[in-house]
A and B are shown apart, each in its own frame.
Chain A
Amino acid sequence: MIWTLLATSELTGPAPFSDCRLNASEKDILNAEVLGATLSDEQVREILVETRENHEHDQNFDTDTLHKIIEYLDNPDIQANPQNYKALIDEMRIEAGLIRGNSPYAMVRGVVDPIDDPEMPSSTFRVWFIGILYAGILAFVNQLFSERFPAVSIGAAVAQFLAYPAGKLLERILPRKTLFTIRGRPFSLNPGPFNAKEQMLITIMANAAAGTPYTSSIIFVQVLKNYFNQPWARSYGYQLLNTLASTFVGIVSHPAHSL
């Protein structure tokens, strides 16, 4: 009980800007305020109960925010005398808006937008051209130099960085004319400005190609005379089949969903 009282006095004390307390940017707070104002008290409570259930043991969730949520949900005095807890109640309304309309994590809010434009072109000619080119370069360089000591490798971040000038160049030089329509969608080599989804797709393609498959190590020790000395492992069919098999059984894909 003493703990609760201490926590309460801390919460209702003089507070700095609300955006500093909730660890969100100005714009996110404004959006959350707008959304929070449309929620009823029951909805706010419902969202926070769900959040507590999902994030109570979550190391990435902000501890201060979690304590405030628990305080808001568990202190019976807040229901009885809401006038004494105005700051906390207002803050929880914003927090509920933030959770409903954005990500519950400050680090995700910082880099991912809570809005999406489904009409933004994504699988464009530019993506496939730059993506396949970069994937090829990264795969070639990384595999060739993987056995050098120390190894030389180019990461997908380099491809992501260089995709921007390449995309902008193609945006400048490719013709904008609509060539034909597929399933009611116009197809053009150059559908407007180079966008975020295109750059992310190129990055994903380059990332998938940047790693060297585990089989390459096995094949090296098989072929080399001072190790296993098994020249039959030079067979392309053998290398290709086993590499594809080991690559296909894996599980964790990069969750590009979050874009």
Chain B
Amino acid sequence: MMLTSQGIAGVCRRFLVWPAYCVWPGNLSTLALNKAFHRDDKSAVPGPFGRLYNWSRINFFYITFAIMFVYYWFPGYIFQALSTFDWIGWIAPNNNLVVNLASVEYLSLGLNPWPTFDYNYQTGIGSGLLTPLFTVMNMFIGIICAVITMLIMWFKNAWNTGYLPLNSNGTYDNTGARYNVSNIIDDKVRFVDEKYQAYSQPWMAAGNLVTYFFFFASYSATVSYTMLYHRQEIWRGLKGSFASMKAKFGRGHTEAVHGGEDVHFRLMQQYEEVSELWYMAILVLAVVFGIVGLACWPTGVSVGVVFYGIMFAFVFCIPIGIIYGITGQQVTLNVLAEFIGGVIGKGDALSLNYFKMYGKSSSAA
């Protein structure tokens, strides 16, 4: 989470902060610790085994903190094989198929019912305690679909994936060695077609190809989900935006046009909102800095990339933000940004990097 103050945030808070449906599940742990330190009301809550629990929150925190501190010594230092608990791979280390399917290491699929004892590994794709159950289940079904697709591609040798490791994120040349990018560029890091024709086409492993399928599927799914389920809220937010701009030209905010049933929104209403003009000023500053930063040094990158980023944000910031606010999972735009950037940049690697950076960071948290 890198961003501090952002240009388009001023418009977006109407859609992503004020409405009550934006829970932002990832933030709840921060709030819980804060409450444990300062506002520990010790009220009884229903918990497991049908009992009411009235432990103090801070005691619960200290106890789990101490247990976790002691426990981590085992997977972390004393017996590191607990971290990648590759027991199926240990049983049959020389069986190619078993290692490719079930090993937790070595670029394989890791179809292992108990792959780790290390909490850091379990939380690799998001904390199971913070992510809502429906999100976890969605991701799980997605992983199953991806695994089936990968296996079909690998066994059918589609796009020569059968010659490569099953689940590698590397790029390979036509001999199966790692692709050497230096072979196809000139000294200014630009693509040279003759060198490319003489060297090799890049080949990717089944896992990496399926990752790209799912990236593109998630972009169209993000937009269509938002259109199907949240068009009313967005429309109400837009109407509120126009009303507020008309009323005071960005100073303060109008009444709760977006469904004011949320008590936290009403509590915040007694404070003056930061004017939308401040957000606009930061956006202008970003454009100026971006243009100067690219034009005054020999980058060779078009300054249009800054506006490309802003355009990306206007299309995607609300859909991505709504999904992030509800599920705690962020759709990242890096793949779409780099594909479009690669087409526009015509073989210039630095230009591609900037397209990727602006496309990604304009809609990231």
Contacts and interface: CB of A to CB of B under 8 A. Distances in A.
Interface of A: 17, 19-20, 23, 25-28, 47, 50-51, 53-55, 57-60, 99-105, 107-108, 110-116, 118, 156-157, 160-161, 164, 195-196, 199-200, 203, 207-208, 210-215, 217-218, 221-222, 228, 230, 232-233, 235, 237-238, 241-242, 244-255, 257-259
B270 A118 contact: yes
Q: Which 10 A-B pairs have the closest CB atoms?
A: A211-B2, A241-B293, A248-B286, A245-B290, A196-B38, A245-B289, A242-B293, A252-B365, A250-B3, A208-B4
Contacts of B34: 160, 196, 199-200, 203, 259
Given A20-B46, A242-B294, A257-B264, A251 B6 contact: yes
B35 A113 contact: yes
Interface in B319-351: 320-321, 324-327, 349-350
A255 B224 CA distance: 25
Interface in B1-37: 1-9, 12-13, 16-25, 27-35, 37
Interface string B90-101: 000000000000
Contacts of B298: 232
B290 A249 contact: yes
Q: Tell me the interface secondary structure of chain B in the complex.
A: helix
A203 B298 CA distance: 39
Interface stretch (B72-80, B160-168, B241-249, B305-313): B305-313
Contact of B43 (A26, A104, A244): A26
A242 B2 CA distance: 15
B23 A250 contact: no
Given A26-B45, A246-B309, 20 more contacts: A59-B326, A60-B132, A99-B261, A110-B28, A111-B28, A113-B39, A160-B34, A161-B33, A232-B297, A246-B290, A248-B286, A249-B6, A249-B310, A250-B313, A252-B6, A252-B317, A253-B3, A257-B13, A258-B264, A259-B34
Given A196-B38, A254-B27, A221 B45 contact: no
A117 B197 CA distance: 69
Interface string B207-232: 00000000000000000000001000
Given A107-B25, A251-B321, A253-B9, A242 B363 contact: no
B116 to A, nearest CB: 16
B206 interface: no
A252 B37 contact: no
A245 B3 contact: no
B349 A255 contact: no
20 contacts: A100-B261, A111-B32, A113-B39, A160-B30, A161-B33, A196-B37, A200-B30, A207-B1, A210-B1, A218-B357, A228-B189, A245-B286, A246-B357, A248-B6, A250-B361, A251-B6, A252-B317, A255-B16, A257-B265, A259-B34
B17 A255 contact: yes
A211 B1 contact: yes
B31 A111 contact: yes
A51 B297 CA distance: 55
B115 to A, nearest CB: 18
B46 A203 contact: no
B262 interface: yes
B263 A208 contact: no
Contact of B263 (A101, A214, A217): A101
Contacts of A237: 293, 296
Interface residues of B, number: 90
Contacts of B317: 251-252
Contacts of B261: 47, 50-51, 54, 99-100, 104
Contacts of A104: 20, 261-262
B354 interface: yes
A110 B40 CA distance: 11
B257 to A, nearest CB: 13
B290 A195 contact: no
A244 B289 CA distance: 7
B297 A238 contact: yes
Given A199-B38, A241-B293, A251-B321, A218 B353 contact: yes
B357 A215 contact: yes
